[in-house]
């Protein structure tokens, strides 16, 4: 027994199994004992090179966790309190923009490849089967899953788990054909549906539901094919459900009616003659007009047409819909009703691992912080904001509030294309070069099919110890032919071969990728010229809702020459020079973010500027810093004014706030901990001033309900001392989004934590929780901008300095354009990529502020 094995036996065994995708809480282990499964897997894997590499990777993750925990230990109460404030402000913003108006459906075929194989080969029914090879399985049927046989498991291990397992080689052409049938059905409910792979898709059936309200019954009637009794593994209820539709009926009558008899757009409708047949009526089923009925209908039709079952989830956004589709799998569906309460009830105990984007590593890291469920994720939001990158904690926050993408965007242009191949050990340089050339040729063929050329060539090497390396090179002119790609790739390969010389590279995998496509570059060039135009004075274009991504933001405020080829360090140097500030990087970032964000903020705030044309007009703006109205000036002048205001230092009241929070932070922290485990208590809300009427707590726009006539209220600078209670409240108020029964009350409780105090006499004046000054405005949005600015003025920045941990969740759904299947036959043209999590960068008609988004990083 070597050291590694001993280590395993101590306490890492479960972790490793988890890493390897075994003993996973996503697995269903009805048939074979979990212990037994793990034991068999361990025996099969122990001592292998693969296993050793897994151990190595695991150690790295553990190290990462250790670093994170050390960082956590260094967080001060004050930092935590500030973070809480900031995160809660963001949470409030998210809450305000919660969108429950869409009905999103996630459809997922059950054990797709295996199901197709079983359907087409009756001998396989009732037997455990898997599709794949001895090296790797793509999927298994439910029978096999009882033995622990799962997708992404090597076939030889699966065989040990289940010796009677039948491994069927994949037949992608067939799967593609079936998939097409399914997609034809889906397209009737949402022509813009988004296919994630051959067996999975999202639909937005909002429009369909509207139209369907007026449909006569006959248009929702479908006829039942008698012989359609699909064998399904799940016993009991599901089977019964299915049998409801299984009446005896002539197969002739059930078959889809010929195309020419069908009214346009509804190929399944039968002509009137057929409808009048009593026999058919008897054996038909009419679906209702609700979302649930629609999805039942979809699943019914899929099954009738393909003899395969599908599961589905219905929810107000894609994140939830995806989780839902897993809930009653196989051959079931689940809906989250479009109310905040329903969403929160569902999310409450949901293990984060169930959510798309939380993988094994993230799960483990969060688990180390005591986070397993979404509730716990929400409770720890402040800590998470200090330990993780902005992108990551934003994602976590979305997730813990049950938020996700509500539209299925089509914005996806492919960003890279690659080929890679695994083989038995290849050590001779000559062989490696010739393999490389082959891969380049294959890739060139694929690239040319799509007419793509790219400037970056990357090679990927995996040695026999499963260690992976990538090496990339970007050339000045785009490449697409085999020779062009190989010219770059072989240099990269040679460098690696020489580096290890005289030892040979012992490879088990090689890959070649081309990225930085020419098309993309073209776009960037265009963007640059637009940015150049904007910089000449027309910055207002940013108000159209096109928030800029990180890179663009940088370019937005910098001279053009900076966006050209320079190293990272050169760029940083240039930034400093350009900014004319011999100050810290922190301040530069701050300045940039404010410059880019302010016009955006203000324009959104005024909400009457929808178009670039409008935004050029002179408007009456209110400065979010001094709150004075700026009369009829153009945006540029207004921005100058804001900048001037920003350049003025914060008042000495800052220190008051600091000392206040020091005094109370310890207690606040304890309170936080005390409450962290008791989620569903109505806590502390009573201590907050009752005279705040947050009148529009139903998710509507707060601004509209505020009396804006009193903007000119006198500036009362008498600072309100921050009482202990209040400081505690800030933290405790919102420690659980799930605790209150009433939706409105719930939102109120969330908002309270960052709601300003009102002057008790006028009920109007707002006190900034950061600078602690009463603000002469009653406009909540304006006030919020002020608070953001206060936060921006360096207070938060110190918190960011410690941030190290990142979680690479998919911002866009990573829809593999080849998915272990599509490679074989020309890819189906995907509808495009879609923003999955962070809604912060998406166009949001009613989202007035994104200050925090823009500020960080």
Contacts (CB under 7 A) with DNA, residues 438-497: 446, 455-456, 458, 468-474
On the CB side of 36, CA atoms within 13 Å amount to: 13
CB of 36 to DNA, least distance (A): 17
Smallest gap from residue 154 Cβ to DNA (A) = 4
Q: How far is the CB of 469 from DNA (least distance, A)?
A: 4
Considering only residues 6 to 35 of the shown chain, the ones binding DNA according to CB under 7 A are: 20
Q: Which position among 397, 419, 603, 660 is part of the footprint of DNA (CB under 7 A)?
A: 419
Alpha carbon 811 to chain centroid distance? 5
Tokens of 749: 């409780």
Rounded to a whole number of angstroms, the minimum distance from the CB of residue 261 to DNA is 36
For residues 822 and 835, the answer to whether their CB atoms sit within 8 Å is no
- CB nearer to DNA: pick between 358 and 668: 358
Q: Which is nearer to DNA, 716 or 802 (CB)?
A: 802
Please give the structure tokens belonging to residue 458: 């990357």
Binding mask 314-353 for DNA (x = CB under 7 A): --------x-------------------------------
**Beta partners for residue 470, in sequence order:** 460
Q: Which is nearer to DNA, 452 or 635 (CB)?
A: 452
To the nearest whole angstrom, how small is the minimum distance from the Cβ of residue 137 to DNA?
A: 9
DSSP codes of every residue in 290-311: SHHHHHHHHHHHHHHHHS--EE
Query: Of 606-665, which residues contact DNA (CB under 7 A)?
Result: none
Which tokens sit at 777? 């405005």
Q: Which is nearer to DNA, 313 or 332 (CB)?
A: 313
Q: How far is the CB of 329 from DNA (least distance, A)?
A: 13
Output the smallest distance, CB 588 to DNA, in A: 16
Site pattern 263..302 for DNA (x: CB under 7 A): ----------------------------------------
Name the residue nearer to DNA (CB basis): 362 or 851. 362
Among 247, 361, 637, 745, binds DNA (CB under 7 A): 361
Q: Which two structure tokens, joined as six digits, stand for 680?
A: 């569903």
* Contact status, residue 217 vs residue 287, Cβ threshold 8 Å: no
- The owner of tokens 């889906």 is 186
Site for DNA in 818-837 (CB under 7 A): 818-820, 823, 833
Minimum CB distance to DNA, residue 254 (Å):
31
Bridge partner residues of 633 (DSSP): 619
Distance (Å, whole) CA 642 – CA 650: 14
Residues 555-574 that bind DNA (CB under 7 A): 565, 568
Listed residue (510, 540, 518, 296) closest to 423, CA to CA:
510
Site for DNA in 196-215 (CB under 7 A): 196-197, 199-200
Query: Are 856 and 86 contacting, i.e. CB atoms less than 8 angstroms apart?
Result: no
Helix (H/G/I), strand (E/B), else coil: 50: helix
Residue nearer to DNA on the CB measure, 148 or 155: 155
Which residue from 109, 95, 813 is spatially nearest to 409, judged by alpha carbons?
A: 813
Q: Specify the residue, 48 or 644, whose C-beta has the smaller distance to DNA.
A: 48
Near DNA by CB under 7 A: residue from 803, 850, 851, 854? 803
For the bound state, the minimum distance from the C-beta of residue 461 to DNA, rounded and expressed in Å, comes to 9
421 binds DNA (CB under 7 A): yes
Is residue 81 a contact point for DNA (CB under 7 A)?
no
Nearer to DNA, 289 or 368 (CB): 368
CA dist list (Å): 472 to 420, 428, 461, 501, 566: 15, 22, 11, 20, 17
Within 238-257, which residues bind DNA (CB under 7 A)? none
**Where in 121-150 is the site for DNA (CB under 7 A)?**
134-136, 138
**Count of residues in the chain:** 857
- Cβ closer to DNA: 321 or 657? 321
Residue 186 Cβ, how far from DNA at the closest point, in Å? Answer: 15
Q: How far is the CB of 499 from DNA (least distance, A)?
A: 11
* Least Cβ distance, residue 106 to DNA (angstroms): 9
Burial pattern 726-758, b for ≥16 Cβ within 10 A else e, equals bbbbbbbbbbbbbbbeebeebbbbbbbbbbbbb
Q: Which is nearer to DNA, 54 or 667 (CB)?
A: 54
CB nearer DNA, residue 414 or residue 494: 414
Map residues 366-405 to x or -, x wherever contact with DNA holds by CB under 7 A. Answer: -----------------------xxxx-------------
- Is residue 415 part of the contact set for DNA (CB under 7 A)? yes
218-234 burial: b if 16+ Cβ within 10 Å, else e: eebbbbbbeebebebbb
- CB nearer to DNA: give 138 or 665: 138
How many residues form the binding site for DNA (CB under 7 A)? 89
**CB closer to DNA out of 572 and 640:** 572
Query: How many whole angstroms separate alpha carbon 103 and alpha carbon 291?
Result: 7
Stretch in the footprint of DNA (CB under 7 A) among 27-35, 172-180, 407-415, 723-731: 407-415
CB of residue 270 vs DNA: minimum separation in angstroms? 34
Q: Which long-range contacts (CB under 8 A, 24 or more apart) does 171-177 make?
A: 171/116, 171/117, 172/821, 172/822, 172/824, 172/825, 173/824, 173/825, 174/116, 174/120, 175/112, 175/113, 175/116, 175/199, 175/821, 176/821, 176/822, 176/825, 176/828
Positions 140 through 199 that interact with DNA (CB under 7 A): 152-157, 159, 196-197, 199
When the beta carbons of 213 and 801 are compared against DNA, the nearer one is 801
Considering only residues 50 through 69, tell me which ones interact with DNA, judged by CB under 7 A.
Answer: 50-51, 57, 60-61, 64
Pick the piece of the chain touching DNA (CB under 7 A) from 245-253, 412-420, 639-647, 652-660: 412-420
d(CA 378, CA 88): 10
| Three-state SS at 89 | helix
Q: Evaluate the CA torsion angle 250, 251, 252, 256 in order and state its sign.
A: positive
Q: Which is nearer to DNA, 212 or 809 (CB)?
A: 809
**Is 806 a residue that touches DNA (CB under 7 A)?**
yes
Task: Spell out, one character per residue from 509 to 528, where the chain touches DNA: x when CB under 7 A holds, - when not.
Answer: x-x-x-xx------------
Tokens 């004992």 belong to 33
C-alpha dihedral sign at 573, 576, 577, 583: negative
CA–CA dist 396, 358 (Å, integer): 9
Nearest to 485 by CA among 455, 519, 517, 520: 455
Residue 19, CB-side half-sphere exposure with 13 Å CA sphere: 24
Q: How far is the CB of 460 from DNA (least distance, A)?
A: 8
Phi, psi angles (nearest 5°) of residue 140 = -135, 160
Task: Considering the complex, state which of residue 112 and residue 669 has its C-beta at the smaller distance from DNA.
Answer: 112
Residue 853 Cα to chain centre, angstroms: 16
Q: Angle at the Cα of 189 (from 273 to 824), degrees rounded to 5?
A: 110
Q: CB 408 → DNA: shortest distance, Å?
A: 14
Kindly tell me which of 474 and 617 has the beta carbon lying closer to DNA. Answer: 474
44 makes contact with DNA (CB under 7 A): yes
């Amino acid at each position: 027994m070597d050291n590694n094995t001993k280590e395993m036996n101590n306490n890492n065994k479960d972790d490793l199994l988890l890493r390897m995708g075994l003993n996973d809480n996503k697995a269903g282990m009805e048939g074979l004992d979990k212990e037994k499964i793990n034991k068999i897997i361990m025996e099969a894997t122990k001592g292998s090179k693969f296993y050793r590499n897994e151990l190595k990777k695991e150690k790295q993750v553990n190290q990462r966790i250790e670093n994170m925990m050390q960082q956590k230990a260094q967080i001060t109460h004050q930092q935590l309190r500030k973070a809480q404030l900031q995160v809660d402000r963001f949470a409030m913003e998210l809450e305000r923009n919660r969108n429950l108006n869409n009905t999103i459906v996630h459809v997922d075929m059950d054990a797709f490849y295996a199901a197709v194989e079983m359907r087409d080969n009756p001998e396989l029914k009732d037997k455990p089967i898997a599709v794949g090879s001895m090296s790797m399985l793509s999927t298994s049927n439910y029978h096999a899953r009882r033995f622990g046989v799962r997708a992404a498991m090597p076939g030889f291990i699966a065989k040990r788990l289940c010796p009677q397992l039948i491994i069927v080689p994949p037949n992608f052409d067939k799967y593609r054909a079936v998939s097409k049938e399914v997609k034809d059905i889906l397209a009737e409910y949402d022509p813009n549906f988004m296919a994630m792979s051959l067996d999975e898709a999202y639909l937005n059936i909002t429009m369909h539901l509207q139209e369907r309200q007026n449909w006569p019954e006959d248009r929702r009637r479908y006829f039942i094919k008698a012989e359609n009794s699909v064998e399904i593994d799940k016993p009991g209820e599901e089977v019964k459900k299915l049998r409801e539709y299984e009446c005896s009926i002539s197969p002739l009558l059930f078959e889809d009616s010929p195309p020419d008899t069908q009214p346009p757009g509804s190929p399944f409708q039968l002509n009137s003659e057929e409808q009048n047949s009593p026999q058919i009526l008897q054996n038909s089923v009419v679906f209702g007009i609700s979302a649930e009925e629609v999805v039942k209908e979809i699943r019914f039709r899929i099954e009738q047409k393909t003899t395969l079952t599908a599961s589905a989830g219905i929810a107000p956004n894609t994140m939830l819909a995806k989780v839902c589709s897993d809930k009653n799998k196989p051959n079931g569906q689940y809906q989250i009703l479009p109310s905040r309460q329903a969403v929160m009830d569902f999310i409450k105990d949901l293990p984060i691992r169930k959510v798309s984007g939380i993988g094994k590593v993230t799960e483990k890291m969060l688990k180390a912080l005591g986070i397993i469920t979404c509730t716990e994720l929400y409770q720890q939001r402040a800590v998470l904001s200090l330990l993780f990158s902005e992108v990551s904690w934003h994602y976590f926050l979305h997730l813990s509030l049950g938020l996700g993408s509500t539209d299925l965007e089509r914005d996806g242009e492919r960003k890279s294309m690659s080929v890679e191949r695994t083989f038995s050990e290849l050590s001779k340089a000559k062989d490696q070069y010739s393999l490389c050339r082959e891969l380049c040729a294959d890739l060139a063929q694929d690239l040319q099919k799509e007419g793509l050329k790219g400037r970056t060539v990357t090679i990927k090497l995996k040695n026999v110890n499963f260690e992976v390396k990538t090496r990339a090179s970007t050339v000045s002119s785009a490449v697409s032919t085999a020779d062009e790609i190989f010219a770059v790739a072989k240099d990269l390969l040679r460098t690696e071969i020489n580096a290890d010389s005289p030892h040979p590279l012992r490879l088990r995998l090689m890959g070649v990728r081309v990225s930085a496509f020419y098309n993309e570059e073209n776009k960037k060039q265009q963007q640059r010229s637009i940015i150049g135009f904007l910089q000449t004075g027309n910055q207002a274009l940013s108000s159209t809702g096109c928030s800029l991504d990180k890179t663009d933001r940088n370019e937005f405020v910098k001279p053009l020459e900076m966006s050209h080829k320079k190293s990272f360090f050169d760029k940083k140097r240039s930034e400093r020079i350009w900014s004319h500030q011999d100050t810290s990087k922190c301040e530069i970032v701050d300045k940039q973010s404010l410059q880019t964000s302010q016009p955006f903020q203000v324009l959104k705030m005024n909400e009457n500027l929808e178009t670039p044309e409008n935004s050029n007009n002179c408007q009456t703006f209110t400065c979010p810093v001094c709150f004075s109205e700026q009369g009829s000036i153009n945006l540029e002048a207004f921005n100058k004014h804001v900048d001037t205001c920003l350049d003025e230092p914060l008042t000495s009241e800052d220190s008051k706030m600091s000392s206040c929070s020091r005094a109370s932070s310890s207690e606040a922290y304890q309170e936080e901990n005390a409450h962290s485990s008791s989620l569903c208590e109505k806590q502390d809300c009573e201590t907050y001033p009752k005279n705040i009427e947050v009148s529009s707590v139903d998710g509507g726009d707060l601004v509209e309900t505020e009396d804006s006539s009193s903007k000119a209220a006198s500036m009362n600078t008498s600072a309100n001392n921050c009482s202990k209670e209040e400081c505690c409240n800030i933290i405790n108020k919102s420690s659980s989004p799930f605790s209150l029964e009433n939706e409105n009350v719930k939102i109120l409780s969330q908002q309270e934590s960052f709601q300003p105090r009102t002057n008790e006499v006028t009920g109007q004046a707002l006190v900034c929780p950061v600078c602690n000054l009463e603000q002469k405005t009653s406009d909540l949005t304006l006030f919020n901008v002020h608070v953001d600015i206060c936060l921006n003025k360096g207070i938060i920045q110190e918190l960011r300095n410690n941030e190290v941990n990142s979680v690479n969740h998919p911002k866009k759904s990573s829809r593999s354009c080849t998915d272990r299947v599509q490679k074989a036959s020309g890819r189906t043209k995907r509808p495009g990529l879609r923003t999955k999590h962070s809604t912060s960068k998406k166009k949001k008609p009613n989202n007035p502020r994104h200050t925090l988004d823009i500020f960080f990083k």
